Amino acid sequence: MSEQQKTTHFGYQEVPVEEKQKKVADVFHSVANKYDVMNDLMSMGAHRLWKMFTLNQAGARPGMRVLDLAGGTGDLAMKFSTQVGSGGEVVLADINSSMLEEGRRRLIDKGIVGNVRYAQVNAECLPFGDDSFDIVTIAFGLRNVTDKDAALRSMRRVLKPGGKLLVLEFSRPISHIFNRIYDLYSFTALPLMGKLIAGDAESYRYLAESIRMHPDQETLKGMMEAAGFERCDYHNLTGGVVALHTGYAID
C-alpha cells in the first residue's frame, strides 16, 4: 500500500495520513486563545496539579537543557525557566504556530526572557542534534501525533545519556464505573463548553475522541520501551484519567 493510501485516526474518523497534521493544526488554531481557560473548566483546575506533579518528577536543576514539546501556552516552560536558571536553557516547541505564538506572548508578558527559545517543530523528526537535552517533556500532545512511535524514537535520540522523558497524557480510568461517568462528561459537557466558551464544539468533540483513541497505560509503556527507553514506568493521576509516563535514555 502506498503512503498516499495509508490512513490513520483523527478522533473516530479514518483520514489519509497526510491530512491528519492539517486537521489537528486547524483544531489548535481555533482554540489557542481560549486554551488555558478551557483547560481550567474541563479539568476543574486539576490540570495544574497534574503539571505540578510532572515538574516535580522531572527534577530540573540549574544548568540543564529542557525540551518542552507540544508546549502550547508555556505553563511548563515558565516553571522550567526558573528551575534551570541563567546557565540552562528551555526550548518551548510546538508544531502549531498559533499555540507557539500564544506561549511566546505569555512568557514575554511575564518577563521570562533570556533562557527560553522557541521552535516550531514536528515531534516525529526533531531538528536537534543527538544528546542535546537533559529532559524532554510532552504534555497532552502525544495523542495528536500521527506517528507516535517515530516521535518517541526522535525524543530518545535527542536525550543525553541518563536523560529523562516525561509524557503527561490522558489515559484510561481504572474504575469501570468512573470510566462510564467520564465518557458521559467528555461527550456531552466538553463539546457544550467548547461551544459556549470557545465558540467551537467540534474541536472539543475531537479532543474527547482523541483521548479514547490514545494507547492505554501499559501499551504506551511498551511503545516507550520499543523506542529505546529504559526504566519505564507510569503514575496514574485522578484515577487514571491522566497518566504520567517516564523513561530514561541509558546507553
Level-2 CATH architecture, domain 21-174+206-249: 3-Layer(aba) Sandwich (3.40)
3-state secondary structure of 245: strand
Give residue 162's region: left, alpha or beta (phi > 0; psi -120 to 50): left
Instruction: Quote the pLDDT of residue 118.
Output: 96
Domain-by-domain residue ranges, the chain?
Answer: 21-174+206-249
Give the helix/strand (H/E) hosting 79. helix 75-84
117-165 per-position pLDDT tens digit: 999 999 999 999 999 999 999 999 898 898 999 999 999 999 999 999 9
pTM confidence score: 0.84
Using the predicted structure, report yes or no on whether residue 2 has a pLDDT greater than 50.
no
Using the predicted structure, report yes or no on whether residue 171 has a pLDDT greater than 60.
yes
Q: How confident is the model at residue 251 (pLDDT cuts 50, 70, 90)?
A: confident
The overall average pLDDT reported for the chain is 85
Residues in the chain: 251
196-243 per-position pLDDT tens digit: 766 766 777 777 777 777 899 999 999 999 999 999 999 999 999 899
Q: Which of 249, 236, 241 is nearest to 214 (CA)?
A: 241
Distances (CA, A) of 166 to 32, 34, 107, 205, 248: 23, 25, 22, 26, 9
Query: What is the rounded distance in angstroms from the CA atom of residue 89 to the CA atom of residue 128?
Result: 14
